[in-house]
Structure 1
Amino acid sequence: MTDTAPELRVPRWIDADGEELQDPVRLSDLGAGHKIIFCFQDWCPGCHSQGFPAFKALHDALVGKGVGFAAIQTVFEGAHVNTFDKLRRNQEKYDLPIPFGHDTPPAHERFPTYMQDYDTHGTPWFTVISAAGAILYSGFTVPGAFIRAAESGASLLPTISSELE
């Protein structure tokens, strides 16, 4: 995949401390390096059994090594359960001091903005964006190249682009 990552249009966010942000998070807010964005729904069993643990492992291995992280609750169903207040609960539960976004469908639309812009197909969902802004990976599982990079102390980060293309 070589598409350029669109700018985020997710309207509501909390910061690393759980405080609601006045302005939406932009890709540039996640740093100049690679970015990993994890999409979830609070009521999604796979998000909690597989997605969050994998995302947490990547975060813990790569934090401070030039990789930016964000989590986005893409509310394409279950809006009565997948509410804004669940962001902080999950941020604390998984000890992830990163921005968490809440993305509901715009008026008269079926899917949240992130799902539309990044052509995602449900949750859990991982997107990896290069430092140059290219979408390197988009899918239900964690890309093997990032797992290997994390396990090796991120020494594979410069080669991830070629491994995922």
Structure 2
Amino acid sequence: MSVDERQAPELRVQRWIGVGGESIAPLKLSDLGTGPKVLFAFQHWCRGCHLHGFPTLQRLHGALSAKGVGFAVVQTVFEGADENTFEKLRVNQLKYALPVAFGHDEPPAGATLPTFMEDYRTRGTPWFSVMDAGGRIVFSDFHLDADQLVKGLDLV
């Protein structure tokens, strides 16, 4: 498990949809509650996101959302902007039946990478960033073992 142990940066993603697909104000980490948090980064056109990432997220959400773990999904558009569009957020939210906020993060003017990739030091998609209840990043990597996280995440 890749551990970072630094404090999670505040989210700078500006475009979001809520659980019903409606546009919402930019999400803050505090909006995800006071417990541990799971952030999932994807791209709509990413095969690995659909084969592995979203199914892993579904497993985590099903096992942990009722236990106070907060979830959010961010589409990091570092390539393929014509395919990885804001409209695809709702498509994926419905396809995977995930009642969580989805964000769309394109690089700001003059930047190369989306804010989430820059702030969380991600290297692509699918990517999981997990914070403990104290806000420290305890996992940040491509491949997450859902069963291991469900067993090991401190929910006290």
Structure 1 residues 8-39: Cα deviation after superposition (integer angstroms, max 9, x where no partner): 00010000111111x20000000100000000
Counterpart for residue 107 of structure 1: 109
Letter in 2 for 1:110: T
Q: Is the 8 A contact 2:35 2:132 kept in 1?
A: yes
Give me the TM-score of the superposition, normalised by structure 1. 0.89
Distance 2:14 2:53 in 1: 23
Of residues 4, 11, 14, the one that matches 2:14 is: 11
SS in 2 for 1:136: strand
Of residues 20, 23, 38, the one that matches 2:23 is: 20
Distance 2:45 2:148 in 1: 29
> Within 5 A, what are the aligned runs for 1:65-84?
65-84=67-86
Distance 1:157 1:57 in 2: 14
* Larger RCO, structure (CA 8 Å, separation 6 or more): 2
Of residues 135, 153, 157, the one that matches 2:153 is: 157
Letter in 2 for 1:41: Q
Distance 2:77 2:113 in 1: 8
Structure 1 residue 149 displacement after superposition: 4.9
Give me the TM-score of the superposition, normalised by structure 2. 0.94
Distance 1:6 1:57 in 2: 25
How many pairs were matched up? 153
Counterpart for residue 147 of structure 1: 147
Structure 1 unaligned blocks of 5 or more:
160-165
Structure 1 residue 63 displacement after superposition: 1.5
Distance 2:132 2:60 in 1: 16
Structure 1 residue 148 displacement after superposition: 3.1
Letter in 1 for 2:32: L
Structure 2 unaligned blocks of 5 or more:
none
Letter in 2 for 1:102: H
